[in-house]
Amino acid sequence: MIDVETDVFNYVAPFASAKCAPNGFTSTFVPNPTRFPCASLVEKRNATDTRRKSSAEDEDFAVVTYEANAYAEDKFACRELLNEIDTQMMRLGFNCLVRRWVENQSDPNIFRMIARYTGTVDQRHTIYRRR
C-alpha cells in the first residue's frame, strides 16, 4: 500500500484549520461536532491501480479517494471552508468527484457540505489527475 494519507492531511491542515474553530480540523469523521466551523478529511479508499501494475511484486501506483466534510452554523461559512479544502486538494493534483450539500440529520440548524476527491499516486507520492 502506498500511504499518502498523512502527507495529504498535513498539507491541507494549515489552510483548513485557519477557517475552523480551534482543533476543528480532523483526519477522522466526526458525526456530531460540538464546535463550528469544523471539517474532516478522511482517506476512504486506497487500492492498487491494476491497469498500471507491473510484473514486480511492489505496488507501483495506487488510486486514492478522500472525503471532506464541512460543518458550520451558516451557509456562507460552510461553503467558504469547503472551498479552502477544495483549493488545496486541487493544488495537490486531485480531481473532485462530487461536491454537494447534505442534510444534517443530527442538527438541521447546522449546514453540512461534502466533497470527494480522487487521484492516482506513485511510490514517490506524486499525485496524478489522469488515470
Q: What's the pLDDT tens digit per position in 23-52? A: 999 999 998 898 999 999 999 999 888 665
The mean pLDDT value for 121-130 works out to: 87
pLDDT at 26: 97
**CA 30 – CA 44 distance, rounded (Å):** 14
Residue 112, pLDDT above cutoff 90: yes
pLDDT for 83 beyond 60? yes
Domains of the chain: 5-128 (3.30.70.1700)
Residue-level pLDDT at 51: 67
pLDDT in the model for residue 56: 63
- Residue 73 CA to residue 67 CA, distance in Å, equals 20
pLDDT over 60 at 106, yes or no: yes
Q: Is the confidence at residue 114, as pLDDT, over 80?
A: yes
Residue 54 has a CB neighbour count (10 Å cut-off) of 9
- Residues of the chain with pLDDT > 90, as a percent, come to 74
Residue 11 has pLDDT above 70, yes or no: yes
Given CA atoms 94, 98, 101, 106 in this order, what sign does their dihedral have? negative
> Tell me, what amino acid is at 58?
D
Its pTM stands at 0.91
